[in-house]
Amino acid sequence: MRFRDALAGPGLAGIAEIKRRSPSAGDLRPDADPALLAREFERAGAAALSVLVDERFGGSPQDLVAARSTTSLPILAKGFFRDESELAALLGAAADAVLLLLRDLDDRLAARLIAAAAALGLDTLVEAHSAAELERAVALGADPIGINARDLTSFRIDREAQLDLVAAAPGDRVIVAESGVESRAHAAAAELAGADAVLVGSALMRAADPARKLRELLARPLVKVCGLTREEDVRAAAAAGADLAGFILAAESPRRADRVLPVPATMLSVAVLVGELRDGPADLVQLYARENGHRSRDAVLLRHGEPVAQVVDLPWEQEDSSHLARAARVDGRLVLAGRLAPENVREAIAAVRPWAVDASSQLEVSPGVKDAERIRAFVEAVRS
């Protein structure tokens, strides 16, 4: 279970895929060197590799051998496999796992290939694209299970449908979100839906520096710019590289927004509510209780009504010298808030190691009006 176990640790694991071309996108990186990329991806923090061995993707089993020559990471052989003899050949080429596409396999053949792979000491990543295929994967005992956002017939990407399937998958299986991950926000959305890992190929192969792109996709903490009220400030936050855009909908806030504004595909929107949960267009909700006419100190981050992180903040309009120490004791995903600024965020990150950092008032020229240079400086401080 070397491949599966590499994905099952805490946090979000990254599977970096090596492929020269795609039937949907054409040439991606025709001169890709699997040995060089494998070494660079391992240094960039990949938990495992995926190597295309099908000629339609410009690949071959020799690419597995080349990748293995420079890395100790588990390697997934990715192709369209239908016969046990193909699996044995891949083991000889240094694969640790093989991809099985339920779209192309009935349950009897899938079960036979899973058993054959296990007998060879190979893990299987069983891929589903629909609710029916996910049910089949679960019934087959598949672990890990891949959920592909790309329809392999139309090549259309549907991230929302993928995230719904990830959220519906059993919690006792390792779940891999495949395709469509091009930003930290995409990776975070998969993580919050319940994915243990993301498999990224095209976004890496198109990048000028694939290893740097991988580091970017997996980088934590995420950056949330909150108290946004203007479209130009949303654009400034996106341009600076922020991942989450926060819109305060509570009536008592001087930074109250009329609504959740549209955000670019590189970001997730967060509706900040006080007192009660209500439906809205945001990707996430940050919910505070109402205490003495104001919000409570801390909040919970919700995805479709389910808690996914804890927000630790300062008391209403007060300081607290124990703030960072208290935050450091939180288990699970932590969103750290409370007067964060370009000048103090590095110290806060070092003390707390949060999943995300949240800044608002310290990035303003006046309540609800952001300073683009302060936003840029804040994001740069977090990423440095």
Q: Active-site residue numbers?
A: 17, 19, 78, 127, 148, 178-179
SS3 content of the chain, % helix, strand, coil (to 5): 35, 25, 40
> Which letter does DSSP use for residue 103 in this model?
G
Beta bridge partners of 145: 126, 175
Question: Taking the alpha carbons of 15, 21, 22, 25 in that order, is the dihedral positive or negative?
Answer: positive
Distance CA(16)–CA(365), nearest Å, equals: 41
Structure token digits, residue 188: 């975070």
**Cβ–Cβ < 8 Å for 76, 90:** no
> Which letter does DSSP use for residue 126 in this model?
E
For 9-48, give one letter per residue: b (16+ CB within 10 A) or e: eeebbbbbbbbbbbeeeeebbeebebbebbbbbbebebbb
Structure token digits, residue 68: 């293995």
For 213-234, give one letter per residue: b (16+ CB within 10 A) or e: bbbbbbbbbbbbbbbbbeeebb
